[in-house]
Amino acid sequence: MMLHIPGVLSADEVRHLRAQLDAAAWTDGRATVGAAGAHVKRNEQLPEDAPLARELAQYVQQALNRNGLFFSAALPLRMSQPLFNRYDAANAGHYGFHVDGAVRAHAQGPGWLRTDLSATLFLCNPDDYDGGDLTVRDTYGEHEVKLPAGDLVLYPSTSVHCVTPVTRGVRVCSFMWIQSMIRNDGRRTMLFELDQAIQTLRARHGESAELVALTSHYHNLLREWSEI
Q: What CATH number does the domain containing 206 carry?
A: 4.10.860
Q: What CATH number does the domain containing 24 carry?
A: 2.60.120.620
- Non-local CB neighbours of 128 within 8 Å, separated by 6+ positions: 169, 170, 171
Sign of CA dihedral 66, 149, 69, 160: negative
Domain, as residue range, for 63: 3-180
The pLDDT profile of the chain, 228 residues, written as one tens digit per residue, is 999 999 999 999 999 999 999 999 999 998 766 666 678 999 999 999 999 999 999 999 999 999 999 999 999 999 999 999 999 999 999 999 999 999 998 766 678 999 999 999 999 999 999 999 999 999 889 999 999 999 999 999 999 999 999 999 999 999 999 999 999 999 999 999 999 999 999 999 999 999 999 999 999 999 999 998
139, 195: one domain: no
Structural domain count of the chain: 2
104, 117: one domain: yes
- Of the chain, the end-to-end C-alpha distance in Å amounts to 22
108, 192: one domain: no
Of 104, 117, 120, nearest to 77 by C-alpha is 117
Spatial separation of the C-alpha atoms in residues 99 and 153, rounded to whole Å: 16
102, 142: one domain: yes
142, 38: one domain: yes
63, 105: one domain: yes
170, 61: one domain: yes
